[in-house]
Amino acid sequence: MATQPPVKNPIVEKCTGCENIEGGHCRIWAVPAAKWRLGVCPSATHVKLEVKEREEKVRVGQQKQKKK
Ligand code: SF4
Protein backbone atom coordinates (compact mmCIF):
# COMPACT_ATOMS: atom_id res chain seq x y z
CA MET A 1 0.00 0.00 0.00
CA ALA A 2 1.49 3.24 -1.08
CA THR A 3 1.54 5.96 1.43
CA GLN A 4 0.24 9.20 0.17
CA PRO A 5 2.14 12.38 0.78
CA PRO A 6 0.46 14.86 3.07
CA VAL A 7 -2.02 16.99 1.26
CA LYS A 8 -0.64 20.38 0.60
CA ASN A 9 -2.30 23.33 -0.87
CA PRO A 10 -0.66 24.93 -3.86
CA ILE A 11 1.30 28.09 -3.48
CA VAL A 12 -0.39 31.35 -4.07
CA GLU A 13 0.49 34.11 -6.46
CA LYS A 14 2.38 36.02 -3.82
CA CYS A 15 4.70 33.09 -3.24
CA THR A 16 6.21 33.55 -6.67
CA GLY A 17 9.93 34.02 -6.26
CA CYS A 18 10.14 32.46 -2.84
CA GLU A 19 12.92 29.92 -2.38
CA ASN A 20 10.72 27.68 -0.30
CA ILE A 21 8.67 26.64 -3.27
CA GLU A 22 9.14 23.02 -4.07
CA GLY A 23 7.29 21.51 -6.96
CA GLY A 24 4.52 24.03 -6.84
CA HIS A 25 4.09 23.66 -3.11
CA CYS A 26 5.55 25.35 -0.13
CA ARG A 27 7.95 23.19 1.81
CA ILE A 28 7.22 24.98 5.04
CA TRP A 29 3.55 25.75 5.07
CA ALA A 30 0.76 23.44 4.06
CA VAL A 31 -1.56 26.30 3.32
CA PRO A 32 0.36 29.21 1.84
CA ALA A 33 -2.79 31.20 1.29
CA ALA A 34 -3.33 31.27 5.04
CA LYS A 35 0.07 32.82 5.62
CA TRP A 36 -0.64 35.59 3.20
CA ARG A 37 -4.10 36.19 4.49
CA LEU A 38 -2.59 37.56 7.66
CA GLY A 39 -0.14 39.77 5.85
CA VAL A 40 3.29 38.97 4.51
CA CYS A 41 4.29 35.34 4.86
CA PRO A 42 6.83 35.16 7.70
CA SER A 43 8.92 32.63 5.83
CA ALA A 44 9.00 34.32 2.48
CA THR A 45 12.53 34.67 1.17
CA HIS A 46 11.67 37.07 -1.58
CA VAL A 47 9.89 39.66 0.47
CA LYS A 48 11.51 41.85 3.00
CA LEU A 49 9.41 42.63 5.95
CA GLU A 50 8.17 45.96 5.06
CA VAL A 51 7.98 48.47 7.76
CA LYS A 52 5.20 50.66 6.84
CA GLU A 53 6.52 54.06 6.35
CA ARG A 54 4.63 56.70 8.06
CA GLU A 55 2.65 58.56 5.62
CA GLU A 56 4.02 61.96 5.44
CA LYS A 57 1.43 64.51 5.16
CA VAL A 58 2.41 66.96 2.60
CA ARG A 59 1.09 70.24 3.56
CA VAL A 60 -0.37 71.97 0.68
CA GLY A 61 -0.18 75.67 1.01
CA GLN A 62 -3.59 76.78 1.82
CA GLN A 63 -4.62 79.83 0.10
CA LYS A 64 -6.34 82.16 2.36
CA GLN A 65 -9.23 83.86 0.86
CA LYS A 66 -9.27 87.50 1.43
CA LYS A 67 -12.39 88.78 2.98
CA LYS A 68 -13.85 91.64 1.18
S1 SF4 B 1 7.42 30.30 2.60
FE2 SF4 B 1 5.66 31.63 2.37
S3 SF4 B 1 6.04 32.79 0.50
FE4 SF4 B 1 7.40 31.03 0.49
S5 SF4 B 1 6.29 29.50 -0.66
FE6 SF4 B 1 5.85 29.17 1.49
S7 SF4 B 1 3.97 30.30 1.89
FE8 SF4 B 1 4.83 31.02 -0.04
Ligand 1 contacts CB of residue 15 (under 6 A) = yes
Domain chopping of the chain, boundaries: 1-46
| C-alpha–C-alpha distance, residues 10 and 53, integer Å | 32
pLDDT in tens, 19-56: 999 999 999 999 999 999 989 999 999 987 555 555 55
Average pLDDT of the residues of the chain? 82
Q: Measured in angstroms, how far is the CA atom of residue 5 from the centroid of ligand 1?
A: 19
pTM: 0.64
Hey, CA dihedral for 39, 43, 46, 51, is it positive or negative?
positive
| C-alpha–C-alpha distance, residues 68 and 66, integer Å | 6
